[in-house]
Amino acid sequence: MTLRRSPSAARTGQVPFALVGMLSIIVMILLILMALRLRPDAQRASADDTNLRVYCASGIAKPVQELIDDFNERMGARVEIVRTGGSGELAGQVATEFESGVERGADLVVLADDLLLEKGRDGESIAEIFPAAIQRPVIAVAADSQLEIDSLADLVNRPGLNYGLTSNRAAIGKLAREVAGRDGLLEPLEANRKTDAENVMTLAQALVTGNLDAAILWDTTVNQLNQANQQPVLKIAALVDPQDEFSGEVGLGVVSTTRHPTLAIQFARYATAPETGNPTFRQFGFTAQPGDQWEEVPEIHLYLGSMFTPVLEQQVREFARRQGINVYPRWEGCGKLVASINSITDPDLFPDAFLACDFRFLEQVQDRFESPVTISSNEIVMAVQRSQAEGIESPQDLLASDLRIGICEPEQSALGWLTRQLLSSPPYAGLYEQLEARSAVTVDVGPTLVSQLLAGGLDAALVYRSNVMADPQSMQQIEIISLAPSTHSRAVQPWAISKGTKNRQLMQRLLEMIVRSDTINRFEQAGFQVETPEKD
């Protein structure tokens, strides 16, 4: 924009008042921007508002704190443990905060019991879960103890033995009772114990100070205490569950009400990645469960059949924002997607997951993907302009009319292939060649046919029910006419994760987003029939 002086200003040499005001505003804006550049913290509301608050089970606090320190230094973040305790206690606190609407509670919770995290997700207080590590229950004694305890039965049935375990609110206490219940030892376990500590570290300290002869602890608790001292202070006398049927699965749960979901998810990814989190957990005696490869901002490639665009496009964008990732979705006919999959040579460009319009197309590349789960099915229908729909009840009626008809190309799309199969089989055997010869257009995806119906370029077309129902305008102008039931009248949509993806857990979270209730409602409103896949 060019600033011009008025004729009078040019003659007198005076600057107009409006120009002075505009220049003043520009100067003020520049000063503010310079101040923010020099003081980046000026953009923060308050220290408390920007901290990521973590509740952490006592027995896991040491490796988690080390990971927090590493993450904060690397990322310039402000993650901190603000509360420790037993897993049951912390899970109960998170649930209470959720139900009562506490404004500033936990953002992330780390528990030694994955079932508590699952319960939290079922109750909607936990949004995402990240498996981190495994620990096992053991019978521990002092390092210099001469006691020989060879089993849980030996522990609970030995007269005069001063042993302890945690309450049922801690994961180790809950698990020990489950093992004892299985082995018929629950009654003596409860009757003969000498203490009922609230968390595993309190119990372990009682053993270290000599207040107990033995205790049921995590193997990792023994390891951590020994590392913290110059000489070992505890040793493992026996396994609580030699059959290894029961173990404690450590997990991180992102609290659904967090103000900072992206930061919480980023830290959870860091804490479970093979390159960053796993070595720290192993250092403290845990068996690490590897998560996705660590990247500050992962890049995801998705292949999705074009029928899903109106249902999932917005959800995929929202998922990417929450997860803090870059997503590159490709929405096309499945024939084109399969051809592209077969031609990809760069592994970084290979799709991390494929949501196909029909199983037939996934089957062509199944060797490169994991076992699929069925998401939905979609019915093929006749879509006819309402003004032209009178007397049209079947494909035969279309052939007997002078309507302009559109179909999909059978090699490029699942819809086209199924249309050909449908009209080549009873009760429509022999109709496909006639309809193909009569068709005014042949395109690669159903939405193109619907667009041409709305624009008046076509009178009728064979499309998916969702192609019409996904758009309210289409429903006003187009009549949907069902076809006779057939094995070829319905496409079944599978989801499959790439075998080579570096982000399997991320793709699993995307699947969980797709099958959650609000997204499923969008599927159903768009005319899909939904099937909820079983969890891994």
Q: Which pLDDT value is given to residue 22?
A: 52
CATH architecture for segment(s) 137-246:
3-Layer(aba) Sandwich (3.40)
The residue among 66, 84, 62 whose CA lies nearest residue 74 is 66
Q: What share of the chain is helix, strand, coil (3-state, %, to 5)?
A: 45, 20, 30
Q: Peptide bond preceding 395: is omega within 30 degrees of 0, i.e. cis?
A: no
Residue 189 amino acid letter:
L
Q: Which pLDDT value is given to residue 14?
A: 42
**Sequence-separated (6 or more) residues with CB below 8 Å from residue 139:** 149, 152, 155, 163, 214, 215, 216, 236, 237, 238, 239, 240
Q: Which pLDDT value is given to residue 471?
A: 82
The residue behind tokens 């086209």 is 416
Cα-to-chain-centroid distance, residue 291: 13
Distances (CA, A) of 5 to 23, 26, 527: 13, 18, 63
- For the chain, the distance separating the N- and C-terminal CA atoms, rounded to the nearest angstrom, is 60
Fold matches, 47-133+249-288 and 137-246: yes
The residue among 343, 358, 337, 475 whose CA lies nearest residue 415 is 358
Q: Per CATH, is 297-536 categorized as 3.40.190.10?
A: yes
Q: Which pLDDT value is given to residue 532?
A: 62
CB 289 within 8 A of CB 134: yes
The residue among 135, 139, 149, 91 whose CA lies nearest residue 246 is 135
Mean pLDDT per 10-residue segment, the chain (536 residues):
33 42 46 36 39 94 96 96 94 94 91 93 95 95 95 94 92 94 95 89 93 95 91 95 90 96 97 97 93 97 94 95 97 92 95 95 96 95 94 92 93 88 93 93 91 94 93 90 88 96 97 89 91 56
Residue 436's H or E segment, with its range, is helix 431-438
Separation of alpha carbons 86 and 201, rounded Å? 9
Domain ranges of the chain: 7-41, 47-133+249-288, 137-246, 297-536
Question: 36: phi > 0 → left, psi -120 to 50 → alpha, else beta; which?
Answer: alpha
- CATH, domain range 47-133+249-288: 3.40.190.10
Q: Which pLDDT value is given to residue 496?
A: 98
3-state secondary structure of 40: helix
Q: Which pLDDT value is given to residue 423?
A: 94
